[in-house]
Amino acid sequence: KQEVTQIPAALSVPEGENLVLNCSFTDSAIYNLQWFRQDPGKGLTSLLLIQSSQREQTSGRLNASLDKSSGRSTLYIAASQPGDSATYLCAVLNAGNNRKLIWGLGTSLAVNP
Amino acid sequence: GAGVSQSPRYKVAKRGQDVALRCDPISGHVSLFWYQQALGQGPEFLTYFQNEAQLDKSGLPSDRFFAERPEGSVSTLKIQRTQQEDSAVYLCASTPGGQGALGYGYTFGSGTRLTVV
């Protein structure tokens, strides 16, 4: 059974720091992995989608990497800003499970001015 | 439309009341999903539609939960005789591809926050 773990559960950093959020999964048979952002009381905003054949994806100050064989993904945020404060969730799409996303519990990020 | 739209944004229901939650997916998206997110938890899968066909409803917690997508576009999640444990955010997502096209990311709506009192 696929399990997704995110470390750390919470992170507080001063503005301007570069930071790394980690996501690990137990079953490497995935189609893709997606990083989302969730603001309090809001829905999910897709940040980056990495296909199983890809190693990384970049969007602005965000870079996500995928090492499928070791079951790991990292989300790198460069030059963090207070507006980056949110919960970051990773989700994997398993091969053969009828398109259900399997989710981590998220990393709650606070970027302090 | 430009994104996935859900209504209402907030719903307070008295215990035992029936509720209906609406999802308008991105136009032309084949696949539609409902997820339930309890406070402090990740989303939990409820059900999946490919066009009008409900291909997976294994995540629905009980027979009080019912979902439909009769014309393959708008979907409604209905909860009968609501209980306090039904309080959660209900999220809808859509993707362009169907069962055989798994390379697309999921676009989520803003969710409906249901509070049962």
* List of long-range contacts for B61-67, beta carbons under 8 Å, 24+ apart: B61/B36, B61/B86, B67/B34
Q: Is residue B63 over pLDDT 60?
A: yes
- Number of Cβ within 10 Å of residue B14's Cβ equals 8
Q: Which pLDDT tens digit goes with each residue over A10-52? A: 999 999 999 999 999 999 989 899 999 999 877 889 999 999 9
Q: Give the integer Cα–Cα distance in Å for A54 and A58.
A: 12
Q: Is residue B101 over pLDDT 80?
A: no
Nearest chain B residue (CA) to A92: B105
Which position has the token pair 């215990």? B15
- One DSSP character per residue, B57-96 reads -TT--STTEEEE-TTSS-EEEEESS--GGG-EEEEEEEES
The answer to whether the Cβ–Cβ distance between B42 and A106 falls below 8 Å is yes
* Amino acid letter, residue B81: R
Q: Give the integer Cα–Cα distance in Å for A20 and A88.
A: 11
- State how far residue B45 is from chain A, nearest Cα, in angstroms: 6
Q: Which residues of B touch A (CB under 8 A)?
A: 6, 31, 33, 35, 40-45, 48, 55-56, 59, 89, 91, 93, 99, 102-111, 113
- Phi, psi values for residue B86, rounded to 5°: -80, -10
Strands A72-77 and A62-67: antiparallel
- State how far residue B17 is from chain A, nearest Cα, in angstroms: 23
Q: Which residue has the higher pLDDT, B28 or A42?
A: B28
